[in-house]
């Protein structure tokens, strides 16, 4: 009899959970805190307090689209033991689009636990499934404590509350960087730059952990999901689309650094199969435009040829690139600079797009390069060496 009752209850559970998820999304879009909190278990004071912070964060981001989509329920006996026989734990997809930032919808994975309290279903926990979610899930900027969000036309900056001066400074550089990317790389990019510059106290933000001693960059573009990966299909992860800032270097940000990272943002929707020398070379190509005029660029070309290119036998491979970043970045930049000057910016952007979409191995990459340039990767390198 107990088993039958649970089976019958599944229908009620699903309908109740769907209704709660719909109300949560609607509450954020309408900025209705009372509705957002109405489906949270009031007996769980810690959860209620966290959800108040979460709501206060979410409404600052300016979502133009937001929905929470129920996945399949997870069978967890320990959850039943914790919350009772009406408990229902489920993976949830947060599908959203931030106005002026996301030119396509983004998806993030969550895990929610519900249980019947006082005759209706309520949210009783939102961390039970975190350990089994894709890397970086439930670690978005809005998940990690109170934040302050400052918005420009096509830039959004996230810092901790009260740090308005830092936010204004980063926002100014971010707005300038967006214009640089449009002018130098892709006039067709209509998205924007989200810059997350939080102090993190040894915790991970999205998929980056700046407390790791090996993570030495000032800023890093972090991937997003357009479609969540499954066991059968690992596609869906786009390249860098949100920029995370190392908390120890927040005051060292400038337009050049953000222009580099925003180039990754602009290219994110292309796909993630382009060779690293092109990915990083394009970003370095854009960032140098912010500090060097043509005379300075010509001097730097000579320096890179003398210091790095003469010692190289091939373009840096994906596996090798970050083992020797000094030479790899510069050779990548010199290659992109050479291609743009020889073939034109539009043709190089088109090459990047196709390689990012279809360049899954070296044979595919060479096929695409020959079709578009008449030269494979090694031939391009030989041309570059000849000058």
Residue at a domain's end among 235, 255, 271: 271
Whether residue 116 is found in the same domain as residue 173: no
Q: pLDDT, tens digit, for every residue of 336-376? A: 999 999 999 999 999 999 999 999 999 999 999 999 999 99
The answer to the question of residue 243 being in a domain is yes
Tell me: pLDDT of 9 over 80: no
Whether residue 121 is found in the same domain as residue 244: no
* Largest interatomic CA distance in the chain: 84
Give pLDDT, residue 230.
Answer: 52
The answer to the question of residue 139 being in a domain is no
The domain that holds 101 is classified in CATH as 3.10.450.50
Give pLDDT, residue 3.
Answer: 39
Average pLDDT over residues 120-145: 93
Q: pLDDT, tens digit, for every residue of 175-225? A: 999 999 999 998 889 889 999 999 876 568 898 887 776 666 899 998 888
Whether residue 384 is found in the same domain as residue 339: yes
Whether residue 255 is found in the same domain as residue 315: no
Residue closest to 200 by CA, chosen among 267, 247, 260, 131 = 247
Residue at a domain's end among 100, 133, 166: 133
The answer to the question of residue 43 being in a domain is yes
The answer to the question of residue 208 being in a domain is yes
Q: pLDDT band at 8, cuts 50/70/90?
A: very low
Whether residue 177 is found in the same domain as residue 114: no
Q: What percent of the chain has pLDDT over 70?
A: 92
CA distance 330 to 344: 20
- Structural domain of residue 264, as residue ranges? 144-271
Whether residue 383 is found in the same domain as residue 328: yes
Residue at a domain's end among 74, 99, 133: 133
What pTM did the predictor assign? 0.90
Give pLDDT, residue 51.
Answer: 98
Whether residue 152 is found in the same domain as residue 195: yes
Total structural domains within the chain: 3
Tell me: pLDDT of 236 over 70: no
**Are the beta carbons of 184 and 297 closer than 8 angstroms?**
no
For the chain, the average pLDDT equals 91
Whether residue 218 is found in the same domain as residue 167: yes
Tell me: pLDDT of 125 over 70: yes
Give pLDDT, residue 238.
Answer: 66
């Amino acid at each position: 009899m107990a088993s039958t009752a649970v089976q019958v209850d599944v229908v009620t559970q699903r309908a109740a959970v769907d209704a709660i998820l719909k109300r949560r999304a609607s509450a954020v879009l309408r900025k209705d805190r009372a509705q957002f909190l109405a489906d949270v278990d009031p007996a769980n004071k810690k959860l209620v307090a966290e959800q108040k912070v979460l709501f206060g964060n979410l409404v600052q981001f300016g979502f133009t689209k937001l929905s929470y989509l129920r996945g399949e329920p997870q069978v967890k006996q320990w959850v039943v033991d914790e919350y009772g026989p009406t408990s229902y734990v489920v993976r949830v997809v947060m599908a959203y689009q931030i106005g002026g930032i996301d030119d396509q919808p983004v998806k993030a994975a969550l895990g929610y636990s519900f249980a019947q309290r006082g005759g209706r279903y309520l949210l009783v926990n939102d961390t039970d499934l975190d350990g089994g979610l894709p890397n970086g899930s439930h670690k978005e900027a809005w998940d990690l404590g109170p934040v302050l969000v400052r918005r420009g036309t096509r830039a959004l900056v996230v810092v901790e509350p009260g740090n308005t001066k830092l936010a204004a400074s980063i926002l100014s550089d971010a707005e300038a960087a967006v214009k640089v990317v449009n002018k130098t790389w892709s006039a067709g990019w209509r998205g924007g730059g989200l810059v997350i510059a939080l102090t993190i106290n040894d915790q991970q933000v999205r998929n980056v952990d700046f407390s790791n001693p090996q993570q030495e960059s000032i800023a890093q573009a972090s991937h997003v999901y357009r479609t969540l990966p499954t066991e059968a299909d690992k596609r869906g992860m786009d390249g860098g689309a949100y920029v995370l800032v190392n908390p120890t270097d927040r005051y060292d940000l400038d337009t050049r650094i953000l222009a580099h990272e925003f180039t990754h943002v602009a290219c994110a929707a292309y796909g993630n199969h382009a060779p690293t020398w092109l990915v990083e070379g394009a970003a370095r190509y854009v960032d140098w435009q912010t500090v060097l005029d043509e005379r300075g660029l010509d001097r730097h070309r000579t320096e890179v040829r003398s210091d790095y290119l003469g010692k190289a036998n091939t373009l840096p491979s994906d596996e090798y690139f970050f083992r020797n970043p000094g030479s790899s970045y510069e050779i990548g930049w010199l290659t992109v600079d050479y291609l743009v000057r020889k073939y034109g910016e539009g043709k190089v952007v088109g090459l990047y797009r196709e390689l990012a979409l279809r360049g899954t191995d070296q044979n595919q990459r060479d096929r695409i390069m020959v079709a578009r340039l008449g030269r494979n990767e090694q031939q391009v390198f030989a041309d570059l060496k000849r000058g």
